[in-house]
Structure 1
Amino acid sequence: MTKELKLYINGHWVESSNPDTLDIINPATQEVIAMAQRATKEETEETIKIAKKTFESGVWSDKSPQERAAVLLQIADKLQENIDELTNLEVQNNGKTRREARSDAEEAANTFRYYAGLLNMPNGQTYEAPEDMQTMIVKEPMGVAGLIVPWNFPLLMSVWKIAPALAAGNSILLKPAEITPMTAVKMFELIDESDLPKGVANLLMGSGSVVGQTIAESDDVDVVSFTGSTGVGRRIMQAATGNMKKVSLELGGKSPNIIFGDADLETAIDYSLFGIYMGSGQVCTSGSRILVQEGIYDEFVAKFVENARRIRVGPGNDEQSEMGAIVSENQLKSILDYIRIGKEEGASLASGGIRIEKNGLEKGFFMEPTVFTNVTSDMRIVREEIFGPVVTIQKFQDEEEAIKIANDTDFGLAGSVFSADQNKALRVIKKVRAGITWLNAYHLTNIQAPWGGYKQSGIGRSLGTYGLDEYQETKQININLAPKPIHWFD
């Protein structure tokens, strides 16, 4: 029997008045695995009012940091206890491999623990001011936080927003991506079992044009956090101007991965494969532009292609699979369109480029790891985010040209440099205009470090203390320690 996914509003699972439900598909099989309710504009507006009323009541916002931390730890424990189910749901709904899905679930639990711990750290500042005055700087919750997450990391991206928003004392409304709501629903089932007061956390499934737009436009929402495409982020930013709400955006990327001639070739190739093909390339920080110094270009391309062809593509629930399915038929079509465009632009297709329809993968949305060479920086496949297992490999001569090519993009989310010369690597990475960078590595990061980008890759930062700041107001309190008339107008 197909599972029905309901809305979670004010501590209750409810059905939407909208009869237009959405079938949730397993991208590895095209099997319908659930049916999701889709909230209406009116239901979204009502939920926002509930969240605002709950915030103003103080049932959560007035709790001490220690009390909030205790609830976050409860939720973390419940996620850990249900990690196998969360992993299975993510594999079924998103198509990623079990290794990736389990890693996401573990980090989700750890993120709640991190923000619980952060609440017990010193916070705020005091200043000795002249004239017997003292100034305090305190952090306060913002109010209602609208959280809109993408389909590529359904559980983890939700937690990256929920944990700091709740830690700060806000009430929240989460909108998961329409096609991947299953782990969000399971997480809210676990939240419902915790001591979080009813009405603080709400879950609305539905379209971005209805639910997402209503959240962004609402005068009762105080902060909106969105992860997704730059185009949608731009529309959210415009919609948010009504009440000048705070906006946090983590958007697209077209990240450079620079390989110098003195790099350890085996290590560079290994991380470069991981950088683009992890998550089937459906990762905002993917190293989708590999820049290789001319002296090792041919050798790098030959070995990279050889290794890319060995990647075992298959269903995520198969332990032998190293790369899973593309999340949806629409996304697969978009990737194939870019491959056609790349060939029309004159790029050389060195490997891959086709949908896999054999060896039992005929029903799923599977794609060969794809490599383009002989590309130029004006090509669309080099400039636009493909969001799939497609990489371009360009040649450069020296540091100056590498930096120029790396920064010749509208985006600035991530980047890396591989070199045996640490001074050179550091010199170059400091010139790369990106928010998340690596030396002789790729994709490795931690909860404590800020996550976000430059230019059209977004505004604001997730994770670390920066992530908590995104959901807090900063207040100045001035205390007169010796009250007496100032005789300003005497």
Structure 2
Amino acid sequence: MLETEKEKVKKDAEALQLKMYINGEWKEASDQKTRDVINPATGAVIAEAPEGTAEDAQAAIAAAKATFESGVWSDLPATERAAYLLKIADKIDEKAEELTKLETMDNGKTLREAGYDVGDAAACFRYYAGMITQPDGHTYHVADPMQAMVVREPVGVCGLIVPWNYPLLMSVWKIAPALAAGNTIVFKPSEVTPVTPTKLLEIFEEVGLPAGVANMVMGAGPVVGNEIASHKDVDMVSFTGGTKTGKHIMKTAADTMKKVSLELGGKSPNIIFADSDFETAVDYALFGIYAGAGQVCSAGSRILVEESIYEKFLARFAERAKEIRVGDGSDSKTEMGPLVSQEHLDKVLSYIEIGKEEGARLLCGGERLISDGLDKGYFVAPTAFADTTQEMRIVQEEIFGPVVAIQPFKDEEEAIRLANDSDYGLAGAVFTVDGAKGLRVIKKLRAGITWINSYHPTYNEAPWGGYKQSGIGRSLGTFGLEEFQEVKQININLEVEPIGWFEK
């Protein structure tokens, strides 16, 4: 929700006044425009954020480039960069309660979910602080008199663009390895959820991160994001978000041949065999789709159930889904919060109508929740469609909400075929007590993140990313650090004398 200078007087005095962070200074947008930040559970304005311009992005890029070239960060010994990251982690822990509450207000997720995110953010900084002090590089025994070696160096100026579903954690997944590698950054949080990312930049300032190392520009994707993706002085762009936007960024970045890392959408299958532990499978199926109100790229939004237990599964799944406590995430009793915005609410509700029109059987949910004080928020009941088929849009398209499509399969071969019949390939799971079958099916899934008898756990040590139109590159683990590094070959002549290639 954009706002002009005159309209500022209408603001709630308690709303946070956010600013961008460029070259160590907190700044308003160059044209003074702002945007309201809304608590999705209550509809209340919780903050006023700058609506950055292309000029603001250019200033941040210039600062990042000058700082990188100065060597104040890129030339710093790894142990010293690690010390900064550890201080940041300690500050996140110190402010965990505040960050958790703000994350819930900013995004709508429950306090429990937000608390996990804050803890994971601190752990991610610690993980990369440890990694960059470990042995690195290679040497090769090549033909005498040469010695060859390979070293890893920072890419340079990295443009980092993050989504609204994990405002703090997705920021950290990019920022921690980018800084660990010695890069400088131009960071764009989602314009919908900029509160906790701003708090993160405040922590950077508190620990004394050199000016210009981390720069944050708020604003709309088509303006600020496009400038980051297209600017010649940005050496890499890393984006997490929708596939359509990812494709645009990739095309835009191609003009300057910058490095690109994309973590995009998903329509992930959760395959449940008849021999699975039934209650465990149901429980994880619920968690797979309704955690985060389904606003999770890896959500198990397609559930494939073996025919012999299909109706039993539907009955139990619907029974459990109807019991989920939906409400304001700040209430400790809430199990599922709202969608992030009115715009997104409208999108999800439109997909529910599409599912009905396509002939899928509405198993539960299917409506906006407005009773019991929920009328001012963006709440949708946990929704499930049964008897879905491959040609349905609710099966093929990412809804990104608490809506799941359930369909039966006959055997292992059909389960694999249905699971892979998608443009996406981010995640997937298999539930079975037959270990050989579980691994056999997982190996056939065209997906980058998979589980057997589980769903959703993520680890800093393991790579995160997908196949097909779910993206390019990986976050986390050693792979996540390597995304933000260039590989350089160095050859040393150990016998310095003329080569004698040409006759004298």
Smaller-chain TM-score bracket: over 0.9
Which residue in the other structure is 1:439 paired with?
A: 452
Structure 2 residue 333 is matched with structure 1 residue 320:
yes
Correspondent of 1:135 among 137, 148, 165: 148
Is the contact between residue 30 and residue 55 of structure 2 (CA under 8 Å) also seen in structure 1?
Answer: no
Correspondent of 2:70 among 41, 57, 61: 57
SS of aligned partner of 1:474 = strand
Which residue in the other structure is 1:467 paired with?
A: 480
Q: Distance in 2 between matches of 1:42 and 1:20?
A: 13
Which residue in the other structure is 2:138 paired with?
A: 125
Which residue in the other structure is 1:100 paired with?
A: 113
Partner AA of 1:489 in structure 2: F
Structure 2 residue 249 is matched with structure 1 residue 232:
no
Q: Distance in 2 between matches of 1:65 and 1:204?
A: 27
Consecutive unaligned residues of structure 1, counting only runs of 5 or more, are none
Which residue in the other structure is 2:4 paired with?
A: none
C-alpha root-mean-square deviation of aligned residues, in Å?
Answer: 0.7
Is the contact between residue 22 and residue 59 of structure 2 (CA under 8 Å) also seen in structure 1?
Answer: no
Which residue in the other structure is 1:281 paired with?
A: 294
Structure 2 residue 239 is matched with structure 1 residue 199:
no
Is the contact between residue 22 and residue 38 of structure 1 (CA under 8 Å) also seen in structure 2?
Answer: yes
Q: Distance in 2 between matches of 1:18 and 1:106?
A: 37
SS of aligned partner of 2:408 = strand
Correspondent of 2:438 among 418, 425, 433: 425
Q: After superposition, give the CA deviation of every residue in 1:391-426 in whole Å (9 maximum; x if it has no partner).
A: 011100001100000000000000000001000010
Is the contact between residue 254 and residue 412 of structure 1 (CA under 8 Å) also seen in structure 2?
Answer: yes
Q: TM-score, normalised by structure 2?
A: 0.97
Structure 2 residue 84 is matched with structure 1 residue 71:
yes
Which residue in the other structure is 1:448 paired with?
A: 461
Partner AA of 1:32 in structure 2: V
Which residue in the other structure is 1:14 paired with?
A: 27
Q: TM-score, normalised by structure 1?
A: 0.99
Q: Distance in 1 between matches of 2:369 and 2:256?
A: 48
SS of aligned partner of 1:395 = strand
Is the contact between residue 373 and residue 393 of structure 1 (CA under 8 Å) also seen in structure 2?
Answer: yes
SS of aligned partner of 1:335 = helix
SS of aligned partner of 1:416 = strand
Which residue in the other structure is 2:227 paired with?
A: 214
Q: Distance in 1 between matches of 2:348 and 2:262?
A: 24
Question: In the TM superposition, what is the alpha-carbon distance from 1:135 to its structure 2 partner?
Answer: 0.7
Correspondent of 2:60 among 27, 35, 47: 47
Which residue in the other structure is 1:266 paired with?
A: 279
Question: In the TM superposition, what is the alpha-carbon distance from 1:60 to its structure 2 partner?
Answer: 0.3
Identity %, equivalent residues: 62
Question: In the TM superposition, what is the alpha-carbon distance from 1:270 to its structure 2 partner?
Answer: 0.5
Is the contact between residue 60 and residue 216 of structure 2 (CA under 8 Å) also seen in structure 1?
Answer: no
Q: After superposition, give the CA deviation of every residue in 1:312-355 in whole Å (9 maximum; x if it has no partner).
A: 00101100000011110111110000000011011010100100
SS of aligned partner of 1:202 = strand
Is the contact between residue 215 and residue 224 of structure 1 (CA under 8 Å) also seen in structure 2?
Answer: yes
SS of aligned partner of 1:475 = strand
Is the contact between residue 18 and residue 37 of structure 1 (CA under 8 Å) also seen in structure 2?
Answer: no
Q: Distance in 2 between matches of 1:469 and 1:406?
A: 30
Structure 2 residue 390 is matched with structure 1 residue 377:
yes
Q: Distance in 2 between matches of 1:481 and 1:270?
A: 64
Is the contact between residue 5 and residue 185 of structure 1 (CA under 8 Å) also seen in structure 2?
Answer: yes
Superposition pairs of residues 165-180 of structure 1, within 5 angstroms: 165-180=178-193
Divergent runs of 4+, >4 A: none
Partner AA of 1:244 in structure 2: M
Which residue in the other structure is 1:329 paired with?
A: 342
Correspondent of 2:322 among 289, 309, 326: 309
Q: After superposition, give the CA deviation of every residue in 1:108-131 in whole Å (9 maximum; x if it has no partner).
A: 000000000001111000011112
Question: In the TM superposition, what is the alpha-carbon distance from 1:484 to its structure 2 partner?
Answer: 2.1
Question: In the TM superposition, what is the alpha-carbon distance from 1:195 to its structure 2 partner?
Answer: 2.6
Q: Distance in 2 between matches of 1:39 and 1:331?
A: 22
Partner AA of 2:62 in structure 1: K
Which residue in the other structure is 1:398 paired with?
A: 411
